[in-house]
Amino acid sequence: MQKVSSVWQGGQKNSVFFNQDVNLHIDEKGPRPTDLLLAGLIGCSQGVFLEIIEKMRIKVKSISMEAEAEREPEPPKLFSKIALNYHIEVNEGLESKVVRAIKLVEQYCTVFNIMKLSADIEVSCSINGVKQLID
């Protein structure tokens, strides 16, 4: 079972505890909870991607990701659209396998599947500097 707890520190400050060793302080200067949702999407997607490419025996030279989101104007201000972008460098000839791995992430990433319930998620990638949309 997963467990996260928080303790209010006054004002807009909270200490969030993920386990006995990790905590995060959230206040008006730090990451907003919605930023943490996007970070969770990137973290989960990248983790699943790395598991998949390991099983496919693909070695990547580098990987970075970014997520940008639009939100509804009215409360609860859900995410309406998310752009998830991968930037990957691999040896030539592996591009189609990388695209397949990204498509599998959409199937297996827990956070991706939760967030797509309320938001349209557009996935794109830049592999060896060539940008493409994942459909």
CATH of residue 76's domain is: 3.30.300.20
| Claim to verify: residue 48 and residue 83 sit in the same structural domain | yes
Amino acid of residue 40:
G
- Digit-coded pLDDT (tens) for 50-86: 999 999 999 999 999 999 999 999 999 999 999 999 9
Structural domain tally of the chain?
2
Ranges in the chain, pLDDT < 50: none
Regarding pTM above 0.75, the answer is yes
Q: List the structure tokens of 62.
A: 């580098």
pLDDT confidence of residue 27: 84
Q: Which long-range contacts (CB under 8 A, 24 or more apart) does 107-115 make?
A: 108/48, 108/52, 109/41, 109/44, 109/45, 109/48, 110/44, 111/40, 111/41, 111/43, 111/44, 111/45, 112/41, 112/44, 112/45, 112/84, 115/37, 115/41, 115/79, 115/82
52 and 114 housed in the same domain: yes
pLDDT of residue 84: 98
Predicted pLDDT at 2: 84
- Same domain? 67 vs 50: yes
Range of the domain at 126: 33-132
pLDDT at 18: 87
Q: Order across the sheet with 23-26: list the strands.
A: 5-10, 13-17, 23-26
Whether residues 44 and 108 share a domain: the answer is yes
